Amino acid sequence: MLKIKDVDFMDINREFTDEERMVKESVRKFVDERFLPHVEGYYNDRTFPLELVPEMGKLGLLGCNLEGYGCTKMSSIAYGLVQQELEAGDAGLRSFVSVQSSLFMYAVYAFGSEQQKEKWLPKMAAGEGIGCFGLTEPDFGSNPAGMRTRAVKTATGYKLTGSKCWITNGCVADAAVVWAKLDGEIRGFLVEKDTPGFIATEIKRKLSFQASITAELSFDNCEIPAENILPKTKGLKSPLSCLMQARFGVAWGALGAATACFNEATQYTMDRIQFHDEPLAGRQLIQVKLADMFTEITKAQWLTLQVSRLKDRGELRHQHISMIKMNNTEMALDCARKARAMLGGNGISSEFPVMRHLCNTETVVTYEGTTDIHKLTLGREITGIAAF
Ligand SMILES: Cc1cc2nc3c(=O)[nH]c(=O)nc-3n(C[C@H](O)[C@H](O)[C@H](O)COP(=O)(O)OP(=O)(O)OC[C@H]3O[C@@H](n4cnc5c(N)ncnc54)[C@H](O)[C@@H]3O)c2cc1C
C-alpha cells in the first residue's frame, strides 16, 4: 500500500506549530506501520483491529480533545490532524477514535457527574474501555428530535425502552451513551454492557465501512441505576453539541481520504503506460482530473484550518461546522470517484485503496448529518427560513 504523502501546495504545514507537525507525523507513522499493511484483510474480513485500541491510547489519540482524566488535550488543529491521518488509513479507524473521543467521552466530560468522569474517562483514554453513542433510531435519523426511545423513572433509577440503529462500536462497547426522552425531554443515559434488557446486535450486510463495527441496540425495560443519567443533559442541544465535536473530526478526516486517493491516482497514472508508450499522467484528461483534485483538496484544507482557528478562539458556530462537514466529505467522495476511474479495472480491486475509500465516503457524506441536511442548515443561515 502506498505511503501517505502531504498535499501541500500553499505551505499549510507552516501554519502548524512544531507540536502539531509532530502529532501529524507520529499518527502517520502509526497508520503506515501498524494499520495500512493489514487494512485490506480487515476490510475484506469485515473486522476492526481492536488490538490497536490500547496502542492508540498510549499514543494519546483517545480523548485528545479533552483536558484532565488521563486525556492529552491538544489544539483543535492537532486534533484535526489526528483525524486526517487516521482516515488516510481508513474511515473506520478514524470513526473508532471519533466515536470514542468526540461522542462518548465528550458526552461524559460535558454532561457527566464528577463520579462518572472519574469512572469512565481515564479508562477510555487509555484504550482499556470502549464507548459508543446511540442517537439514531430506525425511524429517526436526520430528525432525531422525533426519537421514540423512552426512559421512565423507577424507585431505584430508570427503565429504558426502545431501539437505536447504525451505532458504531455498539456491540463491542463497555458502555453506551443512549439518548432517550424522559418526561418528553431528551436526556443522556449511560448503559453498561451486560445490563439485563440491553441487547447489541452487529449489522453484517454493509458494503461500506467494512473495517468498522456497527450495531443495532435494543432496550426492553432495561433498568439502569439512578447514577447513570448524565445529569447536565437537557434537550436535543446536548447530543447536538457532541455531534458538533465529531463533525469537526469528520471534516478533517475527509482531507485524509481525499489525499490518499490523490496520491494513489498520481502514482498509478505516472506508472501506467497506455497508447503512446507514455504514462497516462502525460495525457490532458488525466491532468485535468489531477488538477481538480489538487485544487479542491487545497481549498478544503484552508477552509478547515480557518474553522479550526475559530474553534480555538471560541468563535465557532455550528453553521461553520456544517459547511466544512458538507464540503470536505463531498470533495473526498468526488476525489475517490475520480481516482477510482483513473485506476481503470484496478480501481475496483482491494489491492488499491481507492474503492475502499469510495465506499467509505458514501457513509461519511451520510452520517453525522447528510450533505442535504447541512445545506439546509446553511440555507436557513442565509434566508432565515427553515426548509427541513
Ligand atoms: C456506518 C454508519 C455508522 C453510523 N454511526 C452512528 C453512531 O455511532 N451513532 C448514531 O447515533 N448514528 C450513527 N449513524 C447513523 C447516521 O447518523 C444516520 O444514518 C444519518 O443521520 C442519516 O439518517 P437516516 O439514515 O435515517 O437517513 P434519513 O434521515 O432517512 O434520510 C434519507 C435521505 O433523505 C434526506 N432527507 C431527510 N430529511 C430531509 C428533509 N427534511 N429535506 C430534504 N431531504 C431530507 C437525507 O438527506 C437523505 O438523503 C451511522 C450510520 C452509518 C451508515
> What sign does the CA torsion over 94, 100, 101, 106 have?
positive
CA 13 to centroid of ligand 1, rounded, Å: 34
Written out in words, the top-level CATH class of the domain with range 237-383 is: mainly alpha
- The CA distances from residue 34 to 55, 151, 230, 259, in Å, are 10, 42, 36, 19
> Do 189 and 229 meet the contact criterion of CB atoms below 8 Å apart?
yes
Nearest residue CA, atom 44 of ligand 1? 372
Task: Give the other-Cβ count within 10 Å of 332's Cβ.
Answer: 34
Tell me what percent of the residues of the chain surpass a pLDDT of 90.
Answer: 99
177 and 103 Cβ atoms separated by less than 8 Å = yes
Ligand 1 atom 48 nearest Cα = 370
| Atom 26, ligand 1: residue with shortest CA distance | 141
How many A from CA of 374 to the centre of ligand 1?
12
β-partners of residue 131 are: 175
- pLDDT reading at 1 higher than 80: no
CB 246 within 8 A of CB 102: yes
Mean pLDDT over residues 235-244, rounded?
A: 98
368: annotated active-site residue:
yes
- Ligand 1 centroid, distance to 367 Cα (angstroms): 5
* Alpha-carbon gap, residue 336 to 331, rounded angstroms: 9
Q: Which of 190, 193, 225 is nearest to 108 (CA)?
A: 190
Is the C-beta atom of 168 inside 6 A of ligand 1? yes
Amino acid symbol at 286: I
Taking the CA of residue 388 as reference, the ligand 1 atom at the shortest distance is 41
CATH node for 131-228: 2.40.110.10
Which among 131, 129, 133, 115 is positioned nearest to 57, based on CA atoms? Answer: 129
Output the CA 281–ligand 1 centroid distance in Å: 38
Q: Which residue among the candidates 264, 296, 368, 381 is catalytic per the annotation?
A: 368
The response to whether residue 370 sits with its C-beta less than 6 Å from ligand 1 reads yes
Beta strands in the chain (DSSP E): 131-134, 150-153, 157-168, 175-182, 185-192, 198-202, 214-225, 273-274, 278-279
Is pTM beyond 0.85? Reply is: yes
For 270, the 3-state DSSP assignment is helix
99 lines ligand 1 (CB under 6 A): yes
pLDDT confidence band for 296 (50 / 70 / 90): very high
Tell me, in angstroms, the distance from the centre of ligand 1 to residue 263's CA: 30
| Whether the CB of 241 sits within 6 Å of ligand 1 | no
- For the chain, which residues make up each domain, given as ranges? 12-125, 131-228, 237-383
Q: State the pLDDT confidence band at 2, using cuts at 50, 70 and 90.
A: confident
Please report which confidence band the pLDDT of residue 169 belongs to, taking 50, 70 and 90 as the band edges: very high
Enter the C-alpha cell of residue 128.
482499556
> Using one digit for the tens of pLDDT, what is the confidence trace for 53-81?
999 999 999 999 999 999 999 999 999 99
The CATH classification number of 12-125 equals 1.10.540.10
The pLDDT tens digits for 90-118 are: 999 999 999 999 999 999 999 999 999 99
Nearest CA among 105, 82, 103, 78 for reference residue 94: 82
